[in-house]
Amino acid sequence: MSDIALDVRNLSYSLNGRQLLNRINVSFAAGQLHVLLGPNGAGKSTLLKQMMSGQQQSGHVNFWATPKTAWHGEIFAKHVAFLPQSSGLTFAFTVKEVVKMGATPLKASQSQIATMADEQLHRWEISHLANRPYPILSGGEKQRVHMARISLQLVQTDPTRAIMLLDEPTAALDITHQHYTLQRCRALADQGMTVIVILHDLNLASRYADQLYFLKQGEIVLSGTPWQCFDSDQVVDIYHYPLTVIPHPEHACPLIVT
């Protein structure tokens, strides 16, 4: 079995005459935590959405060497979960009902689904919200609910054949839950899952990622381990902002000082 979970070749995308992605070539190794970085408008979210769409204007996207268009929808949903920046869910479902929506592609009884939902509520530390109406939650609480939902979506799949794509999952979270979310992502990657995350916080990326990918104007202009990337002067050029990089006093990663 290939150790490349997701492979992107010559992916370009334009909208209304504007080139949003330009000949992206990138491979995401299985069982690692990958982080996409870059300034606003660099193309990070567009890249995630285009990888999921299966209808690229040009280029190819393969999941385990198979094009997205060749996957049956229900089977694909058992292997790949995507969390966008925001959800338009407005109905007064309870939190547990929202989490159970992740079970749509699964083969399980209602009692099994309820048990699995309870497990995810516990793992994401939101059991106390189970019966609360989803619309009244804070933005950070909603984000944790959706992390539990997509985790349930993949629960019946071998982690080595699962991919989680997350668009700024920590944006609405306080510092405690930012770290908790990425610790959970780190644990999933250590179990063999491929986790691809968009972040803006350079220090969170440095601490938790195996590989970093910096986008600028629709192109990947720098990639590598945290030490490889942050030892490069390119990061300053990407953000047009001075950065100082020192060894973290407690963790084996770069610490970025602005």
Question: What pLDDT digit, counting tens, does each position of 37-86 carry?
Answer: 999 999 999 999 999 986 666 899 999 999 988 999 899 999 999 999 88
CB 168 within 8 A of CB 146: no
C-alpha span between 208 and 171 (Å, rounded): 16
What is the per-residue pLDDT across 111-157, written as a single tens digit (0 to 9) for each? 999 999 999 999 999 999 999 999 999 999 999 999 999 999 999 99
Query: What is the arrangement of strands in the sheet containing 58-63, beginning at the earlier edge strand?
Result: 18-29, 4-15, 58-63, 66-67
Query: Any idea which residue has 């381990």 for tokens?
Result: 225
What is the per-residue pLDDT across 210-252, written as a single tens digit (0 to 9) for each? 999 999 999 999 999 999 999 888 999 999 999 999 999 999 9
Question: What is the pLDDT, as a whole number, of residue 55?
Answer: 65
* 91 confidence band (pLDDT: 50, 70, 90): confident
The total of other beta-carbon atoms located within 10 Å of residue 65's CB is 10
What is the per-residue pLDDT across 4-43, written as a single tens digit (0 to 9) for each? 999 999 999 999 889 999 999 999 999 999 999 999 999 9
Amino acid at 21: L
**DSSP, res 250:** S
CB 44 within 8 A of CB 215: yes
Question: What is the pLDDT, as a whole number, of residue 1?
Answer: 41
Q: What pTM did the predictor assign?
A: 0.95
Nearest to 198 by CA among 152, 224, 166, 164: 166
Q: In sequence order, what are the beta bridge partners of 19? A: 14
Residues 163-184 have a mean pLDDT of 96
Query: Any idea which residue has 């609910």 for tokens?
Result: 145
C-alpha span between 219 and 23 (Å, rounded): 7
Domains of the chain (ranges; CATH) run 4-257 (3.40.50.300)
